[in-house]
Amino acid sequence: MPAPPSRQRVRESFDRAAASYDDAAVLQRQVCESLLAGFTSSPEPTRILDAGCGTGYGARLLRKRWPDATITAVDFAPAMLARARQEADLCLAADIEALPCQTDGYTTWWSNLTVQWCAVDPVFREAWRVLQPGGQLALSTLGPGTFDELRTAFSGIDRYRHTLTFSEPATIEAALAGAGFCEIHLHRETISLHYPDLKTLLRAVKDIGAHSVGEGARSGLLGRAAWQRVQIAYEAHRTAAGLPARYDVLLAYARK
């Protein structure tokens, strides 16, 4: 499997995207709301860790549902974290693969569309460590069907990597179990967003900082003829709503 993007490169991408993120993060908000709707917490959370908080949309929803809970927001992109400060009780600039948090300190570990940028084993080990016994995990990430149309359109153009390699549901479940979690439940759904043309679609991806793909990426721009071929190939997927960007969404819940 190709190596993921470097942590520094991902951090820089999201720092640059902080100003445009909220306007572009349509998928992130929709998935966040689905993750919360499927989260049955018993007992109610009192200390929540929002892992990879971005600009704080998830913290805002969590606060609305559990107004008495203490929320700690964590993100390794300072520009993102600065925008989340008004939504959380405490903000930590940190990597969720190595949290600067006390063991058994939280009732709930929450993460919306962040895990796909990480190595899942250390993330889940850290989640298990910081949760108190009986604490609950709720996360969303992306599965292997994400950006299928984009991969197909580029497949006849070059051998470079144009999307991340996303985890299979079985991989997420096994990693959670390996970290020590039980009562693991996974839900899978497909969300498609539509755009008038391919350039607008790719700009929307870039505006949320989600364009670093790691090892094997093209280092230069496509030539004009190759770009036209990609556009023609992607047009085969056009619907009445426009050109689709398909997301294979995985929601996971578990208990320590």
Neighbours of 8 (CB within 10 A): 9
Q: What is the DSSP string of 144-160?
A: TTTTHHHHHHHHTT-SS
The mean predicted confidence, pLDDT, of the chain is 86
Given a cut of 70, whether residue 210 has pLDDT beyond it is: no
Structure tokens at 200: 């607008």
List pLDDT tens digits, range 20-38: 666 667 889 999 999 999 9
Structure tokens at 241: 């709503």
Give dist(CA 58, CA 31) in Å, integer: 10
Long-range contacts of 67-73 (CB under 8 A, 24+ apart): 69/44, 69/45, 69/107, 69/108, 70/46, 72/47, 72/48, 72/101, 72/106
Given a cut of 80, whether residue 161 has pLDDT beyond it is: no
The whole-number average pLDDT for the span 199-223 is 61
Give dist(CA 229, CA 248) in Å, integer: 25
| Among the listed residues 152, 108, 114, the one whose alpha carbon sits nearest the alpha carbon of residue 128 | 108
Give the pLDDT score at 1: 46
Give the pLDDT score at 239: 94
User: 123 falls in which pLDDT band (50, 70, 90)?
Assistant: very high
Give the pLDDT score at 235: 93
The whole-number average pLDDT for the span 116-124 is 93
The whole-number average pLDDT for the span 55-79 is 94
The whole-number average pLDDT for the span 88-96 is 95
Given a cut of 50, whether residue 135 has pLDDT beyond it is: yes
Give the pLDDT score at 5: 56
Q: How far is CA 120 from CA 43, 172, 175, in A?
A: 26, 7, 7
Percentage of the chain exceeding pLDDT 70 = 82
Given a cut of 90, whether residue 162 has pLDDT beyond it is: no
Which residue type does 246 have?
A: R
Give dist(CA 172, CA 136) in Å, integer: 16
224 exposed, middle or buried (CB, 10 Å; 0-12, 13-18, 19+)? exposed
User: 225 falls in which pLDDT band (50, 70, 90)?
Assistant: confident
User: 109 falls in which pLDDT band (50, 70, 90)?
Assistant: very high
User: 159 falls in which pLDDT band (50, 70, 90)?
Assistant: low
C-alpha 116: how far from chain center: 6
Buried b (16+ CB within 10 A) or exposed e, 226-251: eeebbeebbeebeeeebbbbbbbbbb
Given a cut of 90, whether residue 60 has pLDDT beyond it is: yes
Structure tokens at 138: 């709720």
Q: Where are the beta strands (DSSP E) in 54-151?
A: 70-75, 90-93, 106-112, 131-142
